[in-house]
Amino acid sequence: MFESSKDAVNVICRIAEPVVSKRGKKVVKEQEVISLGPQVREGELVFGVAHIFASFNDTFVHVTDLSGRETIVRVTGGMKVKADRDESSPYAAMLAAQDVAAKCKELGITALHIKIRATGGTGTKSPGPGGQSALRALARAGMRIGRIEDVTPIPTDSTRRKGGRRGRRL
């Protein structure tokens, strides 16, 4: 496992391959094989942190390293569907999570800690419709799940909520 982005090493191997040029001379041409991600033993879990922000307008699936400073991949529901009304749908969140899982596996991340978040503050404290389906899609795609944590910001005392003195009347 790598604890910070400093331990994530990009490995470049050079392979010399003889190639015949137009004039009939043999020229050695080098090919670069690039392997991204950390150096790990077989079967060892490499953790990342998946920040899932599920509002009622969109769903973000954002994977960082354990420190949270280095972004590995970020996909939103709006990037996956055409219609604006579908950005926060469970289907769009599922597609976004599948893309994220594929990219993580490509970079060598095999397990994720999940931090799920709603709008919070003066907004709603419950995650939107895409939150649960994004989490399920990550698990179904073969990512190992570590800890699941709700990081919705809850105000201890905040600015005035919208709706006025008598509240929203239905």
Domains of the chain as residue ranges with CATH? 57-150 (3.30.420.80)
- The per-residue pLDDT for 42 is 78
Which residues pair with residue 28 across a beta bridge?
18
pLDDT tens across the length of the chain (170 residues): 444 444 444 545 455 566 666 676 666 666 666 666 667 777 889 999 999 999 999 999 999 999 999 999 999 999 999 999 999 999 999 999 999 999 999 999 999 999 999 999 999 999 999 999 999 999 999 999 999 999 999 999 888 999 999 999 98
